[in-house]
Structure 1
Amino acid sequence: MSISTALEDYHKQLIQYFLRDGAYNEKEMIDLLNALRDRYKLKITIKDEIRTFTNVFLPLINKHINQYGIEIKQVTSEEYENNIYFVCIQNFKPQFVKMDCSYTEKEAAVFEKLLELVITNDDKCVAPREVFEGILANDLKMTQKEFGEIMARFHRDKWIESGSDNTVILHARAILEMQSFIMDTYRDFIYNCQICTRLLIRGLICSNSSCDVHIHRSCAARYFHRLSNSTSNSTTKKTAYPCPVCKQEWNKDDVVSILKTNNVHDENDTERSTGTIHKKQRTSKTNDHNNSINNRSIRSTHRQIRNESDDDDDDN
């Protein structure tokens, strides 16, 4: 695999897939890179696919596509801190228009209402029924079947994901893509993470009611682990996890959830477990359902790569 400042065919194909699908999780990204490696005989070491993509492929690809107002970024889910995504965003849109030219005006209207209901809700989530009722209240004619199909597409395209208690929340892709619009339109309903300072919709909240500190789950994982490791060589077990600002002890359930989830991840990278947020317990069924939906697109991509390869062989 030669080092070049020019885009090779496999780079161009990666761009095409990102423009089509919008986002990939780590598993989907690895599968896609493995498929491209087989086709183009790329020298990508097994289990080193993500590092190669982020350190080698991504800088070159972004260098070429940034001039068109497009960028591929890595982002972590707010709800499931071990879920990493690579998202293709349009970085030139100062306000909300359509998420994608392939969406109809009706679909865009549904998402705009969904976005409003999620962000203005105290728990930053919404029941699908509330979205449907909000659409009807806006005099937008739509059947329940049509609404269900639109919501399924939003799930599939990684604009929303499942929260607890059969609710929907914003996907990391939506937050990243829509952050300028969200910050301009809903500034009184959002926060910045105390650790990374980036936009935060859902996260962990300080136990002190007079403290306004909010932290991403992924940032909290690094913060709590850093505190835990600070006494790793001591015979005394770490028990104090203070707020980074007011220093009051952080909610014990949050700390246990974060440390347990990330300890499982450290022990086995292939197993992703989830924690709790706002003291609500989730089950693994939600992630299994999301992974099933998310993998449909990548399977289609693999079939297309194989078919293209077969066509090339036939031409030869």
Structure 2
Amino acid sequence: MMSNSLVDEREASTLYKHCCDIHKVPCVPDKLDDFIDTINAKLQLMFMQIRKGMSEVNGRQYYALVNMAETDITRMSSDYADNELELFRKTMDLIVSSENGKISSTDALNIADSLMTKRLKKSEAEQVLNRLVQDKWLNEKRGEFSLSTKCIIEMEPYIRRMYEDQVKLCHICHNIAFQSQICDSPTCGIKIHNPCVARYFKGRVEPRCPACDEFWPHEIPEVPRSISRR
């Protein structure tokens, strides 16, 4: 876990089975979370925790080893300069305030001109953003940036604290929702992750909001393979 920082449910289950095999005890597949809870009880003394979260892209469950002594962006200070961290913070600001949890690469690069610490050239900002993607703090796809699964899991306390008035939870899985669909009803406005939308409305003839029962006006995506297999 320390070398990978983030593993999916399949990899976590493989590690669980390996531990059971080494110690010659039965491996019960649906007891993975109980196994991790037992580990976390011990890790608490070292201010660490294995935290569970969901990918907003494919709906798969992931586990991340988190340093509880540092719960915000300060954990990145040993790897990034002050102006690079400011670029990341402001990129996060734009992503959180966006309607779909994504911003264009152009918007991200333009942040370089407004840094208070030390301005970055566009080429330097591009390198920093590429590093943030490589280090799995950001995702980049088709010229758009979004927060990675690792970032959302590890930075959850920071995100909840800094964006208290903006962050909503998915009505289905109750995890933080950025890339999601929103109920159009002015008295409702719940958010549902795209994979959760696909799973919840699968097979329903007339999709209706699970909170207010109004017609769900958005296109229902297909269930990702990682979800449909389970």
Letter matched to residue 89 of structure 1: V
Note if 1:111 corresponds to 2:73: no
Q: Which runs of 5+ in 2 are unaligned?
A: none
The aligned residue for residue 310 of structure 1 is none
Q: Deviations over 1:151-195 (max 9, x none)?
A: 2222222211135x5210111221222222222222232212223
- 8 Å contact 1:22–1:157 — kept in the other structure? no
Task: Structure 1: give runs of 5+ residues left out of the alignment.
Answer: 1-13, 229-237, 270-316
Counterpart in the other structure of 2:51: 73
Distance 1:240 1:92, change over 3 A: farther
Q: Output the CA distance in 2 between the equivalents of 1:153 and 1:261.
A: 31
Deviation at 1:85, TM superposition (A): 2.1
Query: Could you tell me which amino acid in structure 1 is paired with residue 114 of structure 2?
Result: A
- Aligned equivalents of 1:267, 1:94: Cα separation in 2: 34
Structure ID, larger Rg: 1
AA in 1 matched with 2:95: V
> Given the alignment, which residue of 118, 142, 149 partners 2:127?
149
The structure richer in strand per residue is 2
Q: Cα–Cα, structure 1 residues 31 and 221, in superposed 2: closer, same or farther, change >3 Å? A: same
2:32: which partner in 1?
Answer: 54
Q: Shift of residue 112 of structure 1?
A: 1.0
More helix by share: 1
**Offset at 1:72?**
1.3
Aligned partners of 1:159 and 1:173 also within 8 Å: yes
Instruction: State how far apart, in whole Å, the 1-side matches of 2:81 and 2:91 are.
Output: 15
Aligned to 1:159: 137
Question: What residue in structure 1 maps to residue 178 of structure 2?
Answer: 201
Specify whether residues 130 and 90 from structure 1 end up closer, same or farther in structure 2 by C-alpha distance, changes over 3 A only.
same
Q: Deviation of residue 247 (structure 1)?
A: 0.5
Listed one character per residue, the Cα deviations across residues 19-76 of structure 1 (whole Å, up to 9, x for unaligned) are: xx4223457x379859x96xx99569xxxx9948935753343222222222112211
Shift of 1:96: 4.4
Task: Give, as a single letter, the amino acid of the residue that structure 1 aligns with 2:213.
Answer: K
- Inter-partner Cα distance in structure 1 for 2:148 and 2:212: 30
CA distance in 2, matches of 1:62, 1:250: 40
Specify the alignment match of 2:206 in structure 1: 240
Distance change in 2, residues 1:267/1:240 (3 Å): closer
Aligned residue pair count: 226
CA distance in 2, matches of 1:103, 1:179: 20
What SS does the aligned partner of 1:97 have?
helix
TM-score by length of 1: 0.59
